[in-house]
Amino acid sequence: QQQVKQSPQSLIVQKGGISIINCAYENTAFDYFPWYQQFPGKGPALLIAIRPDVSEKKEGRFTISFNKSAKQFSLHIMDSQPGDSATYFCAASVLSGNTPLVFGKGTRLSVIA
Amino acid sequence: NAGVTQTPKFQVLKTGQSMTLQCAQDMNHEYMSWYRQDPGMGLRLIHYSVGAGITDQGEVPNGYNVSRSTTEDFPLRLLSAAPSQTSVYFCASSIYRGSTEAFFGQGTRLTVV
């Protein structure tokens, strides 16, 4: 049973465009929702994270939108650049729990000039 | 500050062989975990540890053993390698309980022939 469902599996965006990746979760106990970015040959690295007490968090060109009632959250990359080409993973966890992060299956983003 | 160090980076094994993937962190993190990454499958949790002497199974533990004798080290042992264990393996650590920022190693690419 997949606890975090991520879509799309792959995404091609023109330089300067907006990249949008969506995730949905089932476990209402989740209270921490990070996004990780992975470049080829590297380990994933934390990009941005949100708690459910806010509906949006912005860091530079990256924004997380969170809809608690729909149990969905999304990553928006504004003014996408070729350097943003990477695989993006959404994840979820219970901050007070013992279990590690649960990851989505990933989205491979390609930003073309 | 090295962060999370995994060795080796690449390994080829024959079916039935055993080996240990090494993981060490120098951040005094309590929480460590092992994931495998396969195309289209995302990051799947193999085993995790909430502190020295304590380990637990993740989503795909079969065929793997772990131990945590020190805070710094969390080796992953393949008991009898199978082609289905061909994957990229990532070790991660976080300050506590796995639910804050997870720091990943560079990965070990394992091929079982």
Chain segment B60-106, per-residue pLDDT in tens? 999 999 999 999 999 999 999 999 999 999 999 998 765 578 999 99
The Cα-based distances of B67 to A2, B9, B33, B64, B96 in angstroms read 27, 21, 11, 11, 18
Tell me the average pLDDT across B42-70.
Answer: 95
Contact status of B85 with chain A (Cβ, < 8 Å): no
Burial class (CB in 10 A: 0-12, 13-18, 19+), B110: buried
pLDDT band at B40 (very low <50, low <70, confident <90, very high): confident
Task: For B10, name the nearest residue in chain A, comparing CA atoms only.
Answer: A41
Interface test with B, best of A90, A99, A102, A107 (most B CBs within 10 A): A99
Does the pLDDT at position A102 exceed 70? yes
Is A100's Cβ below 8 Å from some Cβ in B? Answer: yes
* pLDDT bucket at A96, cuts 50 / 70 / 90: confident
In degrees, rounded to 5, the angle at the alpha carbon of residue A37 between the alpha carbons of residues B72 and A108 is 130
Cβ–Cβ below 8 Å for A105 and B40:
yes
Q: What share of chain A is helix, strand, coil (3-state, %, to 5)?
A: 5, 55, 45
Distance from the Cα of B14 to chain A's closest Cα (Å) equals 23
Cβ contact, residue pair A9, B40, below 8 Å: yes
Q: What is the reported pLDDT for B2?
A: 78
Question: Chain B neighbours among A 21-60 (CB < 8 Å)?
Answer: 32, 34, 36, 41-46, 49
Task: Please indicate whether, in this complex, the C-beta atoms of B41 and A105 are within 8 angstroms of each other.
Answer: yes
Residue B18 to chain A, least CA–CA distance (Å): 24
Question: What's the pLDDT at A97?
Answer: 76
Per DSSP bridges, beta strands B64-66 and B103-104 are unpaired
Asked if residue A1 has pLDDT above 70, the reply is no
Overall average pLDDT of the A75-95 stretch? 96
Q: DSSP letter at A93?
A: B
Residue A100: the pLDDT is 81
How far apart (Å, rounded) are the C-alpha atoms in residues A10 and A106?
A: 8
B106 touches chain A (CB under 8 A): yes
Helices and strands of chain A, counted as H and E runs: 0, 11
pLDDT the model gives residue B1: 63
Element (H, E) at A89: strand A86-92
Distances (CA, A) of B18 to B80, B105, B110, B113: 5, 22, 12, 13
A42 and B107 within 8 Å at the Cβ level: the answer is yes
| pLDDT for res B69 | 97
A94 CB neighbours in chain B (<8 A) are: 99
Q: In the predicted model, what is the mean pLDDT of residues B24-49? A: 93
Interface contact A44-B48, CB threshold 8 A: no
Amino acid B101: pLDDT:
86
- Average pLDDT taken over every residue of chain A: 94
Is A39 strand, coil or helix?
A: coil
Distance CA B15, CA B89 (A): 17
